[in-house]
Amino acid sequence: MRAIHYREIDGSGGFWALVGLLALLLAAGLTAAYFMEHIGHIITGMSNQVVWGMPHVFAVFLIVAASGALNTASIASVFGRVAYKPLARLSGLLAIALLIGGLAILVLDLGRPDRLGVAMTHYNFRSIFAWNILLYTGFIAVTGWYLWVMMEQRLNRHSRMVGTVAFLWRLILTTGTGSIFGLLVARQPYDEAIMAPMFIVMSLAFGLAIFILVLMAACRAGARPLGDETLMRLKNLLGAFAAGLLYFLLVFHLTKLYEAKFSGAEAFILWRGGPYTVLFWFGAVFLGGVLPMLLFWLPPMRRSRAAVGWGSVSVVVGGLALVYDVVIGGQAWPLSIFPGMQVSSSFYDGVVGYYAPSLPECALGLGGCALAVLITLLALKLLPFLPETLADEGN
Amino acid sequence: MAMTGRPAAPRGTGHEVDEDRRRFLGTAALSALVVAPGVSLLAFAEGQGRKQGASARTRWGLLIDTTKCKSSCTACVTACSSYNGWKNEGRPTDPQWIRKVQVTDPETGVSRSVPVMCQHCAKAPCVEVCPTGASFKRADGIVLVDRHICIGCRYCMMACPYKARSFVSEEISGQKPWAPRGKGTVEGCTLCVDRIDAGQVPACVQACAHEGGRAMTFGDLKDPASEISRALAEFPSVQLRADLMLDPGVQYQGLP
């Protein structure tokens, strides 16, 4: 195998224009957070019925994608597949950037973001949320350490060991994220242990899709060769992850349909839930799973780079739809306090919760995404994360 | 700071000493703003009566006989709202520490009006999931939110099976000294902990007895001689979502 030479990306006019645009989006997100804190969550679409809104959709998506973005590095270091080694640094960088973007949204959506210090100093270790605070910050530290041993030649020999720690950490982290929902026994749309491994499969798909898109964009903008073999290998992996996610969705809903107590919630998500049903079937299933597989593997498109790009976009859009369905749809379905009874009250008991995302929420969510891309771009500019060439061997 | 109120001072031994100490601490806080958070935390801890009061020998509970509760009566809700200083103006963002749920059996048509509030579970999911420990349970079973360390993550609202908690979404005014409330934090029924510590019954129970149908009985579930224990022994009662095995301190009789 030939030696890999990494180099910083060039800062052309287009690069700085993109940085400027992202900085604007970030500023819009911070402004939204400022108003949400000073005026209160009254300016959002959230209520006492739907308590987590659009910021959580973006935050959960980015955090889940972050652990998945580390896939490529793990395949190289942990599973010894040398073909993935040139991509490992970018993989680690994206993992950190996406996680910081997601965490920023999560923190700024708190009722009291000024109490971040309290969250870092008061721990209830029976809370999966508290564990996640440690898992998230630990993930940034472990992945940073991993990048260091990959980028510092003298430490390269440790990359397998540190890569294994990072790989195990990411599995535990996504288990924790899935468990935030899976352990909610009070809400019928959640309350399934399978949500933990399902979130791992979601992370594999979302993270790899974002990785492919960033890799294709960076190579194209920097005129760096990206070999068909590398891209097709990643594409096949993403197709397999998309199929895996469909399988988990199938098992998740079949399990729930089998239990009578969940039948109302299942009917809501699968056929009577209006926008939530559309998001599930068209968003999560079609865009997130079926369409990418068709684009990746239908004979006329098997070698098409455009199909790889559009398939990855489809996984990202479908993934956002799925997370929206899980986070918002799961809350919109009313709690069953009196099972089998008809209920009504001034507090919207028995009524599907109404939620419409507000501008500040969307701005905060997009601001977090902009932060993740901004960190990635600036890191690529400052440090040698990307190989000079990713052309296929022999070219 | 959004929070303006503090719970009432603990009654009994050491009350006068506490007042002096508070005055001193108040002066100190003005002159040294850096130590203010610590001072207010200290005052809060004392205000909760944690040192003197809550004992595991007691388990406060509430029994609601729904056959005596009229749909048209909202005495308990009004009393809670005015005593604790929260207002429901009919918006989905408004808090409701207690509400009346009309529960109807679709088979028989039997219908009851059921007051629902924090059920003060022995194994409270809100306490389990709270990342900072702001949701906590006193030794006597009362579940509360420490508004000083609540970060407003709303995970407790996701976890509560009874929809018993509300999030304060905007600036509020008119807080009562015994019921601290603040924008950006979560709140719910305190079982009128300050009244209990003062030897009184919760505001809803008092209102129900005077203006309502005497449907609510409050007392110590661990005392076999208490009115609530005797009533529970006499007639069958149920806990809401008993399948979750959370052991709520609130129980109901006469549900359809």
* Selection from B113, B235, B216 nearest residue A341 by Cα: B113
pLDDT at B42 over 90: no
* Selection from B179, B220, B203 nearest residue B62 by Cα: B220
pLDDT of residue A345: 97
- Distances from the Cα of B246 to the Cαs of A20, A260, B189, B237, in angstroms? 53, 21, 17, 15
A3 confidence band (pLDDT: 50, 70, 90): confident
Q: What is the largest CA-CA distance in chain A?
A: 71
Q: Quick count: other Cβ atoms within 10 Å of Cβ A287?
A: 22
Distance separating alpha carbons of residues B252 and A332, to the nearest angstrom: 27
B47 confidence band (pLDDT: 50, 70, 90): very low
Q: Is residue B130 part of a domain?
A: yes
Which of B94, B114, B131 is nearest residue A130 as measured by Cβ atoms? B131
Residue A348, token pair as written in the block:
């919207």
CB contact under 8 A, B100 and A346: yes
- A contacts of B161 (beta carbons < 8 Å): 185-186, 335, 337
Determine the 3-state secondary structure of A195 from DSSP.
helix
Q: Is residue B173 part of a domain?
A: yes
Q: How many CA atoms lie within 13 A of B24 on its CB side?
A: 7
Q: Using CB atoms and an 8 Å cut-off, which of residues 322-341 of chain A contact chain B?
A: 331, 335-341
pLDDT at A292 over 50: yes
Distance separating alpha carbons of residues B11 and B194, to the nearest angstrom: 9
Is residue B49 a contact partner of residue B9, using CB atoms and an 8 Å limit?
no
Q: List pLDDT tens digits, range B113-168.
A: 999 999 999 999 999 999 999 999 999 999 999 999 999 999 999 999 999 999 99
With both helix axes pointing from N to C terminus, report the angle between A54-69 and A159-182 in degrees, rounded to the nearest 10: 150
CB contact under 8 A, A129 and B105: no
What's the whole-number mean pLDDT along residues A222-247?
Answer: 95
Q: List pLDDT tens digits, range B239-253.
A: 999 999 999 999 999
User: Which class for B89: exposed (0-12), middle (13-18), buried (19 or more C-beta within 10 A)?
Assistant: exposed
**β-sheet bridge partners, residue A345:** B101
Q: Is residue B160 part of a domain?
A: yes
pLDDT of residue B52: 62
Q: Using CB atoms and an 8 Å cut-off, which of residues 1-60 of chain A contact chain B?
A: 37, 39-42, 44, 46-49, 51-52
ipTM: 0.93
Q: Give chain B's radius of gyration (CA, Å).
A: 19
**β-sheet bridge partners, residue B166:** B187
CB contact under 8 A, B102 and A180: no
Q: What percent of chain A is modeled with pLDDT above 70?
A: 99
Shortest Cα–Cα distance, B153 to chain A (Å) = 5
Which residues constitute the domain of residue B138? 15-253
Shortest Cα–Cα distance, B13 to chain A (Å) = 31
Q: List pLDDT tens digits, range B66-84.
A: 999 999 999 999 999 999 9
CB contact under 8 A, A119 and B185: no
Residue B26: CATH number of its domain: 3.30.70.20
Torsion of CA A97, A101, A102, A104, to 10 degrees: 130
Q: Which of B93, B94, B171 to mutate to test the interface with A (most CBs of A within 10 A)?
A: B93
pLDDT of residue A80: 85
Q: Is residue B10 part of a domain?
A: no
Residue B245, token pair as written in the block:
């095995």
Question: What's the topology of domain A6-241+355-387?
Answer: Formate dehydrogenase/DMSO reductase fold (1.20.1630)
Q: Which of A39, A41, A133 to mutate to test the interface with B (most CBs of B within 10 A)?
A: A41
CA angle A254, A260, A261 (to 5 degrees): 105
* Selection from A33, A9, A61 nearest residue A369 by Cα: A61
* Chain mean pLDDT for chain B: 85
Q: List pLDDT tens digits, range A359-382.
A: 999 999 999 999 999 999 999 999
**β-sheet bridge partners, residue B117:** B98
Q: Give chain A's radius of gyration (CA, Å).
A: 21
Q: Which of A167-176, A376-385, B41-50, B94-103 has the lowest mean pLDDT?
A: B41-50
Domain boundaries, chain A: 6-241+355-387
Which of B106, B132, B244 is nearest residue A119 as measured by Cβ atoms? B132
Closest-CA residue in chain B for A108?
B153
* Total number of domains constituting chain B: 1
pTM comes to: 0.90
Q: List pLDDT tens digits, range A250-260.
A: 999 999 999 99
Q: DSSP alpha helices (H): ranges in chain A?
A: 13-38, 54-69, 71-77, 88-108, 116-121, 128-151, 159-182, 195-221, 228-258, 263-267, 275-278, 291-297, 305-324, 330-332, 359-382
pLDDT at B22 over 60: no
pLDDT at B28 over 60: no
* Selection from A292, A211, A210 nearest residue A245 by Cα: A292
Q: Which of A106, A349, A354 to mutate to test the interface with B (most CBs of B within 10 A)?
A: A349
pLDDT of residue A392: 84
Residue A305, token pair as written in the block:
């780079």
